[in-house]
Amino acid sequence: MSNVMGLKAKLGLDVFKEDKEFHIRIKAGKEKDIRLKNTVLVCPAGLYSENDNGEIIIGVDGCLECGTCLLVCGPEVLEWHYPSGGAGVQFRFG
């Protein structure tokens, strides 16, 4: 079973605690920003995708809080915070 397992299933193994709000948002007007396109490749949780309009969208559920997208896009493109205290992913092994 350790073989190919879909990403969703893999993320489903992790423990997540719900947050009150989305901790990452794409800033208005930046949906087609060139920097944002890279997130599709770099996000280890595969949370970014491109829609039919050529805009990048994020589904923040399953975020591993790694920080890669923030480093790639910068704060002009992303409003990026850690989830509130006690929320978000909780690694049991790390």
Task: Return residues touching ligand SF4 (CB under 6 A).
Answer: 24, 43-45, 47, 63-69
57 touches other proteins by CB under 8 A: no
Q: Least separation, in Å, of the C-beta of 5 and ligand SF4?
A: 17
Q: Distance between CA atoms of 4 and 14, rounded to whole angstroms?
A: 17
Which one, of 85, 90, 75, 87, lies nearest residue 25 by Cα?
A: 75
Interaction mask 15-34, other proteins, x per CB under 8 A: --x-----------------
Task: Count other Cβ atoms within 10 Å, centred on residue 30.
Answer: 18
47 binds, among ligand SF4, other proteins, none (CB under 5 to 8 A by kind): ligand SF4
Applying CB under 8 A, the residues found at the interface with other proteins are 1-5, 7, 10-11, 13-14, 17, 38, 40-46, 64-68, 70-72, 74, 82-86, 88-94
